[in-house]
Amino acid sequence: MAASFRILTAGYVGPRTASTVTLVRDGDIVVVVDPGMVADRSLILDPLAAEGVAPQQVTDVVFSHHHPDHTLNAALFPAARFHDHWAIYQDDLWTDRPADGFALSPSVRLAATPGHTAEDISTLVDTADGLVVLTHLWWSAEGPAEDPFATDPDALHASRAKILALSPALIVPGHGSAFTPDAQTPA
């Protein structure tokens, strides 16, 4: 059985900044990826409610990295386990584990994809329509081709090539709508 996903709010960058916040479901797991800055929390909670999910039903939250624009609204999900590049956190329990290859479910796994920060991870979701990658390797389909804030541009390009080699059907970038990668997608 394949997982499903829905973008709760598409992010943007400019005079104002919001992260792309995504809901992923696979069996009993309910995952929110990058519950960061948005103009109003209702932009996360209302589409979540429209999907029939209450905040307390979210089992897992994934942070692509630790910038506030991707983490600010994590407390909306009181029962969740929180995942980053090196651990799982829940209540007062900190469990070390590398993210690379960690499976949240049969169809949802994490991948180390450094570049924007040394600790970036991507969420790989096997759906009925193919692989969907939720990642900050790209800000949006429109760019920028070079991440001006990348801590390691060479690692960023290597991580992009790694993800593109998986032939994803869709990429959900850190600050924009999902896009289908093609030959013009910067590696």
| pLDDT tens figures, 62-88 | 999 999 999 999 999 999 999 999 999
Helix (H, G, I), strand (E, B) or coil at 16: coil
- pLDDT-based confidence at 57, cuts 50/70/90? very high
Does the reported pTM lie above 0.85?
A: yes
Mean pLDDT of 5-30: 97
Residue 136 has pLDDT above 90, yes or no: yes
Round to whole Å and give the CA distance between 36 and 67.
Answer: 9
Task: Report the largest interatomic distance among the alpha carbons of the chain, rounded to a whole angstrom.
Answer: 46
Mean pLDDT of 146-166: 97
Round to whole Å and give the CA distance between 116 and 108.
Answer: 22
> For residue 117, how many C-alpha atoms fall within 13 Å in the half-sphere facing its CB?
15
Mean pLDDT of 15-42: 98
Closest CA to 61 of 92, 27, 87, 100: 87
Burial of 137 (0-12, 13-18, 19+ CB in 10 A): buried
Q: What is the pLDDT of residue 1?
A: 72
- Return all residues near 91 (Cβ < 8 A) that are at least 6 apart: none
| Domains of the chain by start residue, with CATH | 4-172 (3.60.15.10)
User: In the chain, helix, strand, coil percent, each to 5?
Assistant: 15, 30, 50
- pLDDT-based confidence at 24, cuts 50/70/90? very high
Read off φ and ψ for residue 44, nearest 5 degrees. -100, -50
Helix (H, G, I), strand (E, B) or coil at 42: helix
Round to whole Å and give the CA distance between 13 and 57.
Answer: 30
Round to whole Å and give the CA distance between 113 and 124.
Answer: 11
